[in-house]
Structure 1
């Protein structure tokens, strides 16, 4: 059963979002609790699923994945089977960072990182157009990232 977040838990979560590598001792000092108490609270936050994981933010340009592409996808039918088949196929393509089932003009939005437009073109021709049940795609090449993985404000 998931517990209730108090002010200290929220502060721990906010600090962890801004610096996932913060030491337990530094985190405890920032929150004004003992390191042992901080460790227990942090462990509970992980155990109860408030924190899924902690990972580094990689600079996409430095690893030659500087082109961010958003793709809107419309399926040819809206059935549980077609959604499941599409989602399973998408999960096997490593260039697709995120996949969202959405309401509106599209069924899904895909967030994709590639080297450049030519790299995307190869991905599109080789994998995206062969995804199951896809009727239409619309591609958006991003020009500038204004906000990316902002911390939750709660």
Structure 2
């Protein structure tokens, strides 16, 4: 599918991933096409799945969720443990990301909480109540070095 992207499409993707609020007229000017052509191209990029969504990045500290926690999960091996765990994590608003991984863990969770007490409550109320969770290992993020990088293409 990547072969369908020309230089202009790639420019549009780079610009929009840096600023999803860019107006069509400004975007068209930057990629040197007419506004109508630019709009059609952006719509095609959405329709063909190159752009999946446009959203705001909220400052977590400003909304009271300043602590970022990563949790490695090891599950019991039962026929439905993975499906049940994934459904439970998808329903948790504090879980930003849940990744099925290879290696020492089965899953890694990215969780936003207010503070240590809030995480302790989440751990007690959610993680420790799931019957398929055999082990957790928690990592509290001290500082973000790089996040939300742009794709380079």
**TM-score, normalized by length of structure 1?**
0.96
* Count of aligned positions: 153
RMSD of equivalent CA atoms: 1.4
> Structure 1: which 5+ runs fail to align?
none
| Aligned residue number for residue 147 of structure 1 | 146
Q: How many angstroms apart in 1 are the aligned matches of 2:126 and 2:138?
A: 14
| Aligned residue number for residue 133 of structure 1 | 132
Q: How many angstroms apart in 2 are the aligned matches of 1:6 and 1:57?
A: 28
Asked if the contact 1:75–1:134 (Cα under 8 Å) also holds between the matched residues in 2, the reply is yes
> 4+ runs of 1 displaced by more than 2 Å?
none
Asked if the contact 1:65–1:114 (Cα under 8 Å) also holds between the matched residues in 2, the reply is yes
Asked if the contact 1:2–1:48 (Cα under 8 Å) also holds between the matched residues in 2, the reply is no
Report SS of the residue matched to 1:62. Answer: helix
Report SS of the residue matched to 2:68. Answer: strand
**TM-score, normalized by length of structure 2?**
0.96
> Structure 2: which 5+ runs fail to align?
none
